[in-house]
Each structure stands twice: as C-alpha cells, then as structure tokens.
Amino acid sequence: MRLGGRLSGAIEVLTDIETRRRPVADALKDWGLSHRFAGSGDRAAIGNIVYDALRMKLSHAFLMDDDSPTALGYAVLLRQWGLSPEALAGEVDGDRFAPPPLSEDRLAAFNARTLDAAAPHVQGDIPGWVQPSFEANFGDDWLTEAKALAGRPTLDLRANTLKAGRDKVLKALERNGAVASAIARQGIRISAGEGPSRLPNVTADLAFQKGWFEVQDEGSQIVADLVVPQEGDQVLDFCAGGGGKTLAMAAAMHNKGQVHAYDTDRKRLAPIIERLKRAGTRNVQVHEDLSSLSPLAGRFDRVLVDAPCTGTGTWRRRPDTKWRLTEKNLEERLAQQQEALANASAFVRPGGTLFYVTCSILPQENEEQVHGFCKANPDFTLQPATETWRKLFGDRTPQPRSRDGSTVTLTPASTDTDGFFFCAMTRKA
Ligand SMILES: C[S@@+](CC[C@H](N)C(=O)[O-])C[C@H]1O[C@@H](n2cnc3c(N)ncnc32)[C@H](O)[C@@H]1O
C-alpha cells in the first residue's frame, strides 16, 4: 500500500473509534481482519497514524479547524511525520486508494493558524477539566508535562536476572537497537521509531520464550526497584494484576523469601501463572481470595499497593483513554484506592512498610490519598522517597518530580518513562 491507502485505512479506523466508541486495539484488529491484503508494514503504519492522531487530537483539530478523522489523519502526516503540504499532495495525487486531497479551507487554516491562539489545554492535548490538576501538580511546567504525554512511548524491557543478565539480553536484541535504560537497573530500551516504522515483535523472539526478559515500561520497573525487596523478605503485592511488579520483585529477591500476589480480579491475575513459569520464579504464591491471606495479617515486611487508577501516566500508550476519562471515573478510582490501601495496610507488620504506587499523575489520586491515609492512620509515616531514589539510582540519572521529598512522581518529561507515583509509609514498630 502507498501512503494514501494507509491514510485511508487510518481514517476508517478513527471513524470506527469515534462513531462506535471502540477501543483502539479492537478497531485496528477488525480493520486488519476485513483487509487481509494489507501487509504487516501497512498495519503498523495505519496503527501509528491512528495512535499519533489520538495523542494530539485537540491541537490537530484546532490547527485544521476541523476535528474529523480525515483532518486528524492529514494533521498527523503534516505535524508528526514531517511531510510538507506539497510532499503530501504529491503522495495522494493519482493514488486511487487515497482519501480526497486536503481541501483549500483546511490547508488555509493549517497555514494561517498557530497554537498560541488555542486554549492552554488544547496546546497540551489534555481534557480541559484535567488542566487544574496538572497545574496543581506541576506549576509552571504543566504544559511541558502535558505535551510530553502526547509523544510516542519507547518499548521497554526488563532483563530477568533469574535467567539472563542484562548484557546477555542486550546482545540477543542487538539487531533491534536495544540499549541499557538510563535509570532502571535491569531496564532495556528500544526507541519508539518515527513515522511508519514498526516496533519489533520481541515476544516472538526465542530469548523471550526462554524467559530472559519481560516487556515492562521503565517507570513500572523503577517503582518495583524502589520497594527494595530483600532476599528473605515476606512481600505482599496486593494489587498484583498480571504480575508485572511481582515478577520484578521476585527476581530482585533472587528467588529467596516469599512474594504473595493477590488481586480482587481473577481474570487479571490469571496470566501470572504462565509468566511465573516462564520466568523461572520459585518464590511466589498466588492468592485469588483474601481469606487465604487472612492468617498472614500483620506479618509482611513490605506490602505494595499498585492501586487501580485513571492511568493518566500511560496516556502515551493508551491515548484513547485520555478522551474517555470522566470526573465520575476519577471519583470511582479514588474510592477504590482508599479501599485497597485500607485493606492492604492490615498486612504490614509493625516496623514494616506500605508502598503506594499509581500510574497516574493526578494529585487527587496520589499525594492527597496518602496524606489522607496517614492522617487517618497515624501509626504510618511517610519516608523520604527522594533519598531512596538517590541511594538506588544516584544523582546523575534523570530525577523525578517531588514536592517535598517524601513522594516521587515519574513523568515522560522528567524521567522519560510513563507517569508513575511512588511513596513508602513505615508502620510504627
Ligand atoms: C494498576 S493495576 C495492577 C498492575 C500490576 N501490579 C502490574 O504491575 O502489572 C491495579 C489492580 O488492582 C486491582 N484491584 C482493584 N481494587 C482492588 C482491591 N480492593 N484489592 C486488591 N486489588 C484491587 C485491579 O483488579 C487491578 O488488577
């Protein structure tokens, strides 16, 4: 397919997402099934146009004076893929699979408009109602942070030291341009690529099948590192989900001690079994029911609450969720976070530590939650997270954001990772 055909495909998918409110992955999959002639390169290019369009939906629509899927698709090629209007006209000219060329009106708007005239949240490509939270969290830097969340994410991996050291994995993935991550101790990074370029399917690699590495954003690896689990510890991963952080902590403990993985949602927890096997993990117990954990109340050295959240820190990867998020969703998450924190805290032994993590950057879900929790539970005290960071990663790595040193917030703009919040609260001995 030429670029015009790929653009048409992307416009069809964007229309499907908008009219039927479908998740991006489902809409792309369906398009692929009904266009079997499209090769993997075509699908990747179409996926890239769709995701790029959703990342910068508001600013694209403003500059084109049009929020239709066609305008968004063209804006991607002009603003994110670096094609000039002339080059783009040349690409679609004579291609019978291309969409209609950009109209005179759209082109005139694009040439005449600049983002300085747009509302600030449009410049930052975030929902307007979220802007006050960004301002509260990041002050004058909020727009820089918002814009960085509209970029393309890298592909991050974690070397599984139970099976292979980072150097060995780097060697195995050399042809993919894999390099060591800047912060996470076992992290490996493959660049996001530009335009139509395709990310390698690393899970098809033999090294993955052998359990040498996991796919995990560097931010997620870093917060698991910050728990600093020790060999012999009793650790509870209270919101274990598919086990991303369980696996990282179990490896950091060299298969010694115990990690107990629990989640209220059995479906989310299910893949953990296969992943644990592949990773060669022998120190993890999986719990589907809170009742099986009850006898261990007050016994854990470290309890991690990787809380359900709005996922605002992952907007680069899931840009459609940025536009679907509502204030009601936020309210629901806040209640779930309080419940998870309250339930999990009962498992921390005196002198042990409760860790609270989200992949959100909204202060309501982060600082406000832990300050509320510590106020209501005075036997828990916040520990200086920036100190732990420095001890673990040093001063020369990119530094996260922190208001007062007691908590840290990772962001694409500060640490070049997904957005994550982390803090540790120690229970009185
Ligand atoms: C951010 S996800 C966890 C991701 C996982 N830790 C990882 O690294 O792959 C949050 C999880 O919390 C679970 N959850 C929500 N409320 C909970 C509660 N009250 N107790 C335990 N788990 C809960 C959800 O089912 C969801 O899987």
Query: Whole-angstrom Cα distance, residue 36 to residue 8?
Result: 15
Angle at which helix 104-112 crosses helix 57-64, to 10 degrees, equals 110
Residues designated as active site: 359
CA distances (Å), origin 23, targets 27, 60, 267, 285, 330: 6, 20, 19, 33, 19
Least confident of 14-23, 368-377, 381-390, 408-417: 14-23
Number of C-beta neighbours around residue 169 at 10 A:
25
CA nearest neighbour of 279 among 248, 241, 303, 301 = 248
H or E segment at 204? Answer: none
Whether 263 has a binding-site annotation, put simply, is: yes
Looking from the CA of residue 309, the nearest atom of ligand 1 is: 1
Tokens of 211: 């359990």
Tokens of 172: 């195995």
Chain-centroid distance, C-alpha 72: 23
Query: Whole-angstrom Cα distance, residue 216 to residue 203?
Result: 12
Give the strand order in the sheet containing 213-215: 179-180, 187-190, 155-159, 213-215
Any atom of ligand 1 within 6 Å of the Cβ of 331 = no
Query: Whole-angstrom Cα distance, residue 98 to residue 2?
Result: 8
pLDDT of residue 21: 87
Q: How far is the CA of 403 from the centre of ligand 1 (A)?
A: 26
Query: Whole-angstrom Cα distance, residue 237 to residue 234?
Result: 10
Q: How far is the CA of 321 from the centre of ligand 1 (A)?
A: 18
Query: Whole-angstrom Cα distance, residue 198 to residue 39?
Result: 12
Query: Whole-angstrom Cα distance, residue 427 to residue 301?
Result: 10
Looking from the CA of residue 308, the nearest atom of ligand 1 is: 10
Q: Whose CA is nearest to atom 26 of ligand 1?
A: 241
Tokens of 393: 């990663």
Q: Whose CA is nearest to atom 27 of ligand 1?
A: 241
Q: Whose CA is nearest to atom 20 of ligand 1?
A: 340
In this prediction, residues 343-372 reach a mean pLDDT of 98
Residue 387 predicted with pLDDT over 90: yes
Q: Whose CA is nearest to atom 12 of ligand 1?
A: 239
DSSP structural state of residue 79 = I
Contact present, 215 and 283 (Cβ < 8 Å)? no
Chain-centroid distance, C-alpha 320: 13
Note the ipTM here.
Answer: 0.99
pLDDT of residue 306: 98
Q: Which domains does the chain have, with CATH numbers?
A: 3-118 (no CATH), 218-427 (3.40.50.150)
Query: Whole-angstrom Cα distance, residue 85 to residue 111?
Result: 9
Any atom of ligand 1 within 6 Å of the Cβ of 275 = no
pLDDT of residue 325: 97
Tokens of 243: 């086990």
Any atom of ligand 1 within 6 Å of the Cβ of 238 = yes
The single-letter code of the amino acid at 292 is S
Place of tokens 């792309």: 28
Q: How far is the CA of 110 from the centre of ligand 1 (A)?
A: 43
Residue 94 predicted with pLDDT over 90: no
Contact present, 204 and 404 (Cβ < 8 Å)? no
Query: Whole-angstrom Cα distance, residue 296 to residue 293?
Result: 6
In this prediction, residues 268-280 reach a mean pLDDT of 97
Ligand 1, pocket-test mutation among 214, 221, 239, 273, most atoms within 8 A of CB: 239
349: helix, strand or coil? strand
| Phi–psi pair at 85, nearest 5 degrees | -55, -35
Contact present, 200 and 176 (Cβ < 8 Å)? yes
In this prediction, residues 401-429 reach a mean pLDDT of 97
Least confident of 32-46, 142-156, 364-378: 32-46
Whether 306 has a binding-site annotation, put simply, is: yes
pTM (predicted TM-score): 0.97
53: helix, strand or coil? helix
pLDDT of residue 93: 87
Residue 7 predicted with pLDDT over 90: yes
Contact present, 219 and 412 (Cβ < 8 Å)? no
DSSP structural state of residue 200 = P
Q: What does the angle CA 390 – CA 395 – CA 398 come to, to the nearest 5 degrees?
A: 100
Any atom of ligand 1 within 6 Å of the Cβ of 236 = no
- pLDDT tens profile 23-78: 999 999 999 999 988 899 999 999 999 999 999 999 999 999 999 999 999 999 99
pLDDT of residue 354: 98
Contact present, 235 and 300 (Cβ < 8 Å)? yes
Mean pLDDT, rounded, of the chain: 96
Looking from the CA of residue 311, the nearest atom of ligand 1 is: 1
CA nearest neighbour of 68 among 119, 17, 108, 34 = 17
Burial of 30 (0-12, 13-18, 19+ CB in 10 A): middle
Residue 80 predicted with pLDDT over 90: yes
Please state whether beta strands 407-410 and 380-382 pair in parallel, antiparallel, or not at all (unpaired).
unpaired
DSSP structural state of residue 203 = G
